[in-house]
A = this chain, B = another copy of it.
Amino acid sequence: MHGRIELIPIVGIGEVRPGDDLAAILGDAVEAGPDLVDGDVVVVTHKVVSKAEGAVADVGPGPDAHRSVVESEAVDVIRRRGDLVIARTRHGFICANAGVDRSNVEAGRVVLLPRDPDRSAHRIRLRLEQRFGVAVAVVVTDTFGRPWRRGLVDVAIGMSGLAAVDDHRGRTDTHGNTLDVTEVAIVDELAAAADLVMGKATGVPAAIVRGLTVPAGDGRVADLVRPADEDLFR
């Protein structure tokens, strides 16, 4: 089954502030635009999730203030070079600045990661399903670097309503070989795909991926975090 997939930006969301009802805001933007249909995956950048949840911090001026927030968000600093800190967050994510971001927020504030992004995704999903009467999935994203490649890509940091990986274990290819590639991180491919219609500088914090044959499941991004004993690069 290989149909086409559509990536649809959700426009008109505007600035999100602590205490805002993000599910309602998303729902209004969806209702005014592409609507929701069964099987849609709603992808939303954590930036607006964190803001709505109040996961922001005030910082003073200058780089030191920012750095102290990074240190407090980091469970463990993995590498440090100059101003660059690669840290492990309480979620287990290993990323620059422990996920603390100065972009797309007013001066003097920084945006942190949501405390439990899988749960954030789940709450948004339940609200959207209730309002629109359809079964959807929700993915919350952030933008991460990669150790050996320049440039950043969006990945999932929270999810609800689909499998995190498309598990090929035990399946064979058209030649009857067992597949070397066993677990495709579908949810990260969804995050990357959605970013193609979102954009960092243009105020489009959400998108719909429509037409995906979603592997059923109740995956959590927390389960994508590689445990320390499998990690060769810590």
Contacts from A to B (Cβ < 8 Å): 2-9, 11, 15, 79, 81, 86, 93-94, 97, 101-107, 143, 146-155, 164-165, 168, 171-181, 183-186, 188-190, 192-193, 195-204, 209, 212, 223-226, 230-234
A146 to B165, CA, bound (A): 14
In the complex, chain B residues whose CB is within 8 Å of the CB of A9:
2-4
Q: How many copies does the complex hold?
A: 2
A5 to B166, CA, bound (A): 23
Docked-complex contact A185 and B2, CB < 8 angstroms: no
Docked-complex contact B190 and A4, CB < 8 angstroms: no
Q: Supply 20 A–B pairs (Cβ within 8 Å), ascending by A.
A: A3-B197, A4-B8, A5-B197, A7-B193, A86-B232, A102-B180, A104-B174, A107-B177, A143-B181, A147-B147, A147-B226, A148-B225, A150-B225, A168-B200, A179-B200, A186-B196, A189-B195, A189-B196, A192-B192, A233-B233
